[in-house]
Amino acid sequence: MPMPAAEPDLLILGSGSTAFAAALHAADLGKSSLLTEERLIGGTCANRGCLPSKHLIEAARLQHERAWPRYAAFTPLQQPLNWATLLEQKDALVYAYRQEHYERLLEEIPGLSLLAGQARFLSPHEVVVTTASGDQQRWRAGQILIATGSRPHVPSIPGLQDVPYLTSDWLSTPDDPWQTSLRQQPRSLLIIGGGAIALELGQLLQRLGTRVTLLVRRSTVLADSSWEPELRQALAEYLQAEGLRVLTQVQVLRVGSGPAGVEVTIQQGARQYTLEAERLLVATGRRPNTEHLALERAGVAVDAQGAIRVDATLRTNVPHIWAAGDVIGSAWGNQFATPVGAADGKLAAHNALSGEPPRPVNHRLIPRCLFTDPPLASVGLTEAQARAAGVACACRVLPMSLVPRAGAIEDRRGLIKMVVERSSRRVLGVSLLARNAEEVIHEAAMALRFGATLEDFTELIHVYPTMAEALRLVALSFTREVRLLSCCAS
């Protein structure tokens, strides 16, 4: 590993996707950068988020489709699962990815270096890094980027600290000192939460043979205006049909140990009762990693949730200190998503080092997806968001059973919804619950980026049969009865 410069041009707190995107752009500008990391190089996505979770989700899908084949010609096949081997393969993937996409860069990118340890501010320009051995190194830099990401939020529940609960960190590798281990598959699992992580991990573990119960505080899963209600309701029904138990309007009163492993006492309406399971997983959102940075010594302002306050150019209230990624929370439409952090890390580095006038972030159109089965993806505005913004809009919802490809592959599950501005006929938002939604949504995102209208969607000729044809069909449904069309007709 190259020795760091005496004073790096950019000192970066963190080593995840946001941090590395910033460091690589700094190198493009001919500048040096020093990253700090107190956990594992690569951050959440590579080690305990996107990469390992999607790897296991695909394994669970294959297991499920063997047991519940879509084609009548196939005999259902119940195969035993080797949990240890499954995790070993997941770990091997993470190790290889970490080495190829992060560690190797430290050797090959000029001016890029990393220091392992916990970083804290000493002053607006100085940081001290405490290594695992207890050694301390002081670093000074003219420009500093805070990209320390986020961590699972753990609510204050009586008794929770006294039981060995899990978070999404169980996806991490054995060399992670902060891992909440799940090296043995639980026979039963209670999950506190009803958001994206709860649904993805709940379905994953249910399909692999764990009996899963979700404890959801609100009246439905994904209970916010960023997901269309028709689609989230359909997804909940699909998950329950697979055996996932979903309890809504639940208040968790206390947690404790029990004969099975863990006991959770809940209030649901007028009824109070206790549930038992072998393990407990807390999936109640994420919080920015800021509380151990001694930000007060640098004078950096945060909001009530601990997210760093930034302007539209990602500059904090201290002119030479910048922040990007999960650590800024939802500021300026930010999302807790790897590609968003990477784009903003690059932008922050450019604004800090290029000498050009600072550029603002652009979070107007960010496609996103839940990797459930079927996946739930969206881009742009939901109907509720459009109406809240005062837009006179029209909407259509089309069942995926009307899409020829869905019938051809015997997977008719799902819905597609399109939101259109009435006056201009410009498409404002698309939401899709269907097989391959994580891929199809990018066509919608590109169309919205260039201000596409209904006619742009209806006149585009699609490969037949494909799931992407759902975009054309839902656009046609504003003016035609799609059920009465022959295939490919418009």
- Does a cis peptide bond (omega within 30 degrees of 0) precede residue 465? yes
Q: Token pair of 215, please?
A: 């404890």
Domain ranges of the chain: 10-151+287-353, 154-284, 368-482
CATH superfamily of 368-482: FAD/NAD-linked reductase, C-terminal dimerisation domain (3.30.390.30)
What angle, 0 to 180 degrees and rounded to 10, lies between the N-to-C axes of helices 437-449 and 469-476? Answer: 60
Output the 3-class SS for 114-141: EEECEEEEEECCEEEEECCCCCEEEEEC
Which pLDDT score is estimated for 490? Answer: 72
Span 222-268, pLDDT tens digits: 988 789 999 999 999 999 999 999 999 999 999 999 999 999 999 99
Strand partners, 322: 145, 315
Q: Please, are residues 170 and 199 in contact by the beta-carbon 8 Å criterion?
A: no
Give percent of the chain with pLDDT exceeding 90.
Answer: 93
- Say if residue 362's pLDDT is above 70: yes
Q: Please, are residues 375 and 434 in contact by the beta-carbon 8 Å criterion?
A: yes
What is the mean pLDDT of the segment spanning 57-63? 98
Distance CA 211, CA 213 (A): 7
Distance in angstroms between the alpha carbons of the first and the last residue of the chain: 60
Which pLDDT score is estimated for 225? Answer: 75
What is the mean pLDDT of the segment spanning 152-171? 95
Q: Please, are residues 199 and 293 in contact by the beta-carbon 8 Å criterion?
A: no
Q: Give which of 210, 212, 206, 205 is closest to 171, Cα–Cα.
A: 205
Distance CA 220, CA 229 (A): 9
Query: Predicted confidence band at 159 (pLDDT cuts at 50, 70, 90)?
Result: very high
Distance CA 410, CA 408 (A): 6
Which pLDDT score is estimated for 487? Answer: 80
Distance CA 203, CA 234 (A): 15
Q: Please, are residues 190 and 266 in contact by the beta-carbon 8 Å criterion?
A: no
- Say if residue 3's pLDDT is above 50: no
Query: Predicted confidence band at 1 (pLDDT cuts at 50, 70, 90)?
Result: very low
What is the mean pLDDT of the segment spanning 465-475? 97
Q: Token pair of 285, please?
A: 């959102």
Q: Token pair of 115, please?
A: 């220091």
Amino acid present at 267: Q
Distance CA 158, CA 254 (A): 5
Which pLDDT score is estimated for 2? Answer: 40
- CATH fold of the domain at 10-151+287-353: FAD/NAD(P)-binding domain (3.50.50)
Which pLDDT score is estimated for 17? Answer: 96
What is the mean pLDDT of the segment spanning 174-192? 89
What angle, 0 to 180 degrees and rounded to 10, lies between the N-to-C axes of helices 50-67 and 83-98? Answer: 150
Q: Token pair of 452, please?
A: 């596409």
Tell me the pLDDT of the chain averaged across its residues. 95
Which pLDDT score is estimated for 233? Answer: 96
Which pLDDT score is estimated for 323? Answer: 98
Collapsing DSSP states into helix, strand and coil, what is residue 489?
A: coil
Span 293-303, pLDDT tens digits: 999 999 999 99
- The reply to whether 10-151+287-353 and 368-482 are identical in fold is no
What is the mean pLDDT of the segment spanning 368-390? 97
Distance CA 311, CA 359 (A): 11
Give percent of the chain with pLDDT exceeding 70.
Answer: 99
HSE-up of residue 240 (Cα within 13 Å, Cβ side): 13
Which pLDDT score is estimated for 341? Answer: 97
Span 436-467, pLDDT tens digits: 999 999 999 999 999 999 999 999 999 999 99
Span 274-314, pLDDT tens digits: 999 999 999 999 999 999 999 999 999 999 999 999 999 99
- Compute CA distances 342 → 11, 42, 327, whole Å: 16, 12, 13
What is the mean pLDDT of the segment spanning 53-65? 98
For residue 429, give the H/E element and its range. Answer: strand 427-433
Q: Which architecture does CATH list for 154-284?
A: 3-Layer(bba) Sandwich (3.50)
- Say if residue 5's pLDDT is above 60: no
